[in-house]
Structure 1
Amino acid sequence: MRQIWKSFKALYFASLMMLIGSGLLSTYLALRLAADNVDGLWIGGLMAANYFGLVLGGKIGHRLIARVGHIRAYATCAGIVGAAVLCHGLTDWLPIWLLLRVIVGLGMMCQYMVIESWLNEQADAKQRGVVFSLYMIASYLGLVLGQLILVIHPQLGLELLMLVALCFALCLVPVAMTRRIHPAPLHPAPMDPKFFIKRVPQSLIAVMGAGLLVGSFYGLAPLYATQQGLSTELVGLYMGCCIFAGLLAQWPLGWLSDRYDRPLLIRVFAFILAVVSLPLAIMPTVPLEVLFVAGWLSALVQFCIYPLAVAFANDHVEAERRVSLTAMLLVTYGIGASVGPLVAGVLMKVLGSQMLYAFFSVTGLVLVWRIRPNAVTNLHQVDDAPLQHVAMPDSMSSSPLVAALDPRVDEQVVQEQMQDSVEPVVEPEDPHPGPLPEEESADLRKD
């Protein structure tokens, strides 16, 4: 593991700095608007705009990387994201902030794609699982540290925006100075929504539910904590504890996932979520101890649903389709994460802040209703399923190419999915060459 860390420390540091900035920005904007008594609908809208940008970036990122290369694409997006962050300090007009959040989400998705494709190409097939685990730790650690900055610096001034921009400037340095081999160009993985809707409908429902939950949590939990009377320092500590719970859950979750039926586990965790969220849903104000304990437990189980749904979907999709599957899951998750904060924001505005956890509880019950283990026919189950569980970050810190780091996916399949394998055409030295062989002629016509 030490050798892996040494080989990829530049990319891990870049991921860490990106997620510190992203995590801090999301909570800062929620707290800033809450301090200005802005409706929760606007706060939810900002998070929805961020996820819309992430989904949009999944499409645009491929084209940008293929056009200018990994390092130039990463540098371009890091600069744009940093500028967009600073623009938040130039105006208070909320429609502009919505646009800026879309830009930040789009740029960050391109950065994720650069790092994940780079990690996959440079990692040995036998080490890909460890490489990905360290990447996930760096991502979650960045989100936690971003929240803890508010404990150290609770003033909601422009200094925090400058600190976020500083993080995106620093994440550029290790990638720009790396001496590792430049990855090969990417081409988009085709996505077939009809195929996946027919093949893994329950997985898509679970992913949609996870998007509703996690998108609402990131966008509106700071507002909820503020309306419960918590100071900025305590809000940062609350958010950091909840996100850290998501990281702690991944390893025991893997043990459970490999030993028990995954649809059943999704249903059980959804029911636990509905139960543990209930005290915060029915009490307008709660003691600080109850808030932290119930909030920590709620986050612990809601961060389990997405990895289980991803693992369940992979059990029923062939290896050559898994990069496309992850793209489909990202889009589904993004739709849920865009809708969730808007719906929860309206409920909080009309019925009070406790409606955030009422929304979590109801969403958990809907998943209990819709996820039916008995309805799984296993007609399309892949060989050796259920596949070994691989811990997954939520889609706020990953791209469709994260599937390429999954050690269960055959490396040759990954290369075919991610790389443009067409060789450059070399001009013949003979000014009057003879006819080309039939295969070469067909290749040139195709190019």
Structure 2
Amino acid sequence: MRQIWKNFRALYFASLMMLIGSGLLSTYLALRLSAEQVDSLWVGALMAANYFGLALGGKIGHRLIARVGHIRAYATCAGIVGAAVLGHGLVNYLPAWLFLRVIVGLGMMCQYMVIESWLNEQADSKQRGAVFSGYMIASYLGLVLGQLILVVHPQLGLELLMLVALCFALCLVPVALTRRIHPAPMHPAPMEPRFFISRVPQSLSTVLGSGLIVGSFYGLAPLYASAQGLSTEQVGLFMGSCIFAGLLVQWPLGWLSDRYDRALLIRCVAVGIAIAALPLALIPAVPLEVLFAAGFLVSLLQFSLYPLAVAFSNDHVEADRRVSLTAMLLVTYGVGACIGPLVAGVLMKQFGSQMLYAFFSFFAVVLVWRIRPKAVTNLHVVDDAPLHHVAMPAANSPLAAALDPRVDEHMVQEQMQNTEPAEEEPVKAG
């Protein structure tokens, strides 16, 4: 593992800087709007705009990379993101902030695509699992450190925006200085929505629910914590501990996922979220100890949904379709992450900040109803199922499938260049 960190430290450092900046920006904007008494609908809309930009970047990024190359595309997007971040300090018009958040999301997705395609190009087939894990650690660590900056610098001035822009400037350095050749261009994987809706409906439901919950968490949890009377430093600690829970849970989750029925695990996790979120949903003023403990537990569970759904769906999809599957899962997650903050923001505006965790509990109950282990037919389960569970990065692009060790690397290029949809099969599985 030490050799992998040494070989990929430049790309991991770039990811770390990007996620420090991204994590700090989301929390800073939520707290600043809260301090200015702006209602939660706008906070939710800003996070939805960011996820919309990420989805848009998935469509645009490969064209930009193909036109100008990886390094130029990455440098261009880092510069644009840095300028958009500083734009939040120059303009106080909220509709303009929505546009800037779209630009930040779009640019960051292009950067993800460059980093992930580069990691895939340089990773030996036997190292892909370890490289993927290192990328996940760098991503989660960046998000945690972004929150902890608020503990050191709690003032919500323009200095924090400058620090975010500084992170996006520094993430440019290791990529710009690389002496390696450009990775081979990769095309977006063809999606087959009707096929996957028929083949893995329960996995798609889980991913959609994960997007609704996690997207709302990143955008609105700082607002909820602030409404509970927490100072800026305490909000930073609360968010940092919750995101750290997402990193901490990945290894025990993998052990459980490889040994027990994954549909049953998803249902148990959903039950856990519904129960753990109830104290925060029902009590208007939560004691600090309960707030941190319940928030940590809910986060342990909510960050488990997406990796479990990915593992569950891969068990029921042939190897030559797993690149397309990953693209479909990411799009489904993005749809949920766009809708969730908007709906939760409206609920918080109308009924109070505790509606954020009531929203989590409600959709967890929906997942309990939707995920039915006995309905899994196993007609299309692959021969080597259950496939080894893989810890998932906190953020990734449609090209992340190329890094996933469950995907046959010899099929990646062929599948990503194939644009003809396959025949749909109406048999339900996972």
In structure 2, the residue matched to 1:441 is none
Matches for 1:36-115 after TM superposition, within 5 Å: 36-115=36-115
In structure 2, the residue matched to 1:409 is 407
In structure 1, the residue matched to 2:245 is 245
1:278 aligns with 2:275: no
Instruction: Report SS of the residue matched to 1:119.
Output: helix
Matches for 1:13-412 after TM superposition, within 5 Å: 13-394=13-394, 397-412=395-410
Amino acid at match of 1:12: Y
CA contact (8 A) 1:211 1:336 kept: yes
Matches for 1:4-15 after TM superposition, within 5 Å: 4-15=4-15
**Inter-CA distance 419–192: structure 2 relative to 1 (3 Å threshold):** closer
Residues 17-53 of structure 1: CA distance to partner in whole angstroms, max 9, x if unpaired? 0000000000000000000000100000000001111
CA contact (8 A) 2:119 2:403 kept: yes
TM-score (norm 1): 0.92
In structure 1, the residue matched to 2:427 is none
CA contact (8 A) 2:274 2:361 kept: yes
Give the superposition deviation at 1:113.
0.7
CA contact (8 A) 1:41 1:349 kept: yes
Amino acid at match of 2:195: F
For 1:418 and 1:120, the matched residues in 2 are separated by 14
Amino acid at match of 1:362: F
**Inter-CA distance 364–303: structure 2 relative to 1 (3 Å threshold):** same
Give the superposition deviation at 1:181.
2.5
For 1:189 and 1:282, the matched residues in 2 are separated by 44
In structure 2, the residue matched to 1:443 is none
Instruction: Report SS of the residue matched to 2:133.
Output: helix
Q: Gapped runs of 5+ residues in structure 2?
A: 419-430
- Report runs of 4+ in structure 1 exceeding 3 Å deviation: 417-420
For 1:417 and 1:3, the matched residues in 2 are separated by 30
Give the superposition deviation at 1:419.
7.1
Deviates more, 1:376-385 or 1:156-165: 376-385
Amino acid at match of 2:410: Q
Amino acid at match of 1:413: M
CA contact (8 A) 1:307 1:393 kept: no
CA contact (8 A) 1:62 1:186 kept: yes
Amino acid at match of 1:213: I
For 1:107 and 1:419, the matched residues in 2 are separated by 23
Instruction: Report SS of the residue matched to 2:32.
Output: helix
Deviates more, 1:202-211 or 1:318-327: 318-327
CA contact (8 A) 1:324 1:400 kept: no
Instruction: Report SS of the residue matched to 2:400.
Output: helix
For 1:44 and 1:183, the matched residues in 2 are separated by 37
Instruction: Report SS of the residue matched to 2:303.
Output: helix
TM-score (norm 2): 0.96
For 1:322 and 1:56, the matched residues in 2 are separated by 22
CA contact (8 A) 2:135 2:393 kept: no
Instruction: Report SS of the residue matched to 2:230.
Output: coil
CA contact (8 A) 2:281 2:356 kept: yes
Give the superposition deviation at 1:418.
4.8
Amino acid at match of 1:415: Q
CA contact (8 A) 1:284 1:354 kept: yes
Residues 41-89 of structure 1: CA distance to partner in whole angstroms, max 9, x if unpaired? 0000000001111111111111111111111111111011001000000
Deviates more, 1:409-418 or 1:164-173: 409-418
Residues 85-137 of structure 1: CA distance to partner in whole angstroms, max 9, x if unpaired? 00000111100000110110111011111111110111000001101100100
Amino acid at match of 1:158: L
Amino acid at match of 2:221: A
Q: CA RMSD in A?
A: 1.0
CA contact (8 A) 2:30 2:220 kept: yes
Residues 174-194 of structure 1: CA distance to partner in whole angstroms, max 9, x if unpaired? 000011232011222111111
Give the superposition deviation at 1:414.
1.9
Amino acid at match of 1:272: G
Q: Percent identity?
A: 82
Instruction: Report SS of the residue matched to 1:384.
Output: coil
Amino acid at match of 2:407: V
In structure 2, the residue matched to 1:436 is none
Amino acid at match of 2:237: L
Instruction: Report SS of the residue matched to 2:387.
Output: coil
Amino acid at match of 1:401: L
Amino acid at match of 2:175: V
For 1:419 and 1:343, the matched residues in 2 are separated by 37
Residues 355-397 of structure 1: CA distance to partner in whole angstroms, max 9, x if unpaired? 1111111111000000111111111111211111001124xx1
Deviates more, 1:409-418 or 1:318-327: 409-418
CA contact (8 A) 1:317 1:382 kept: yes
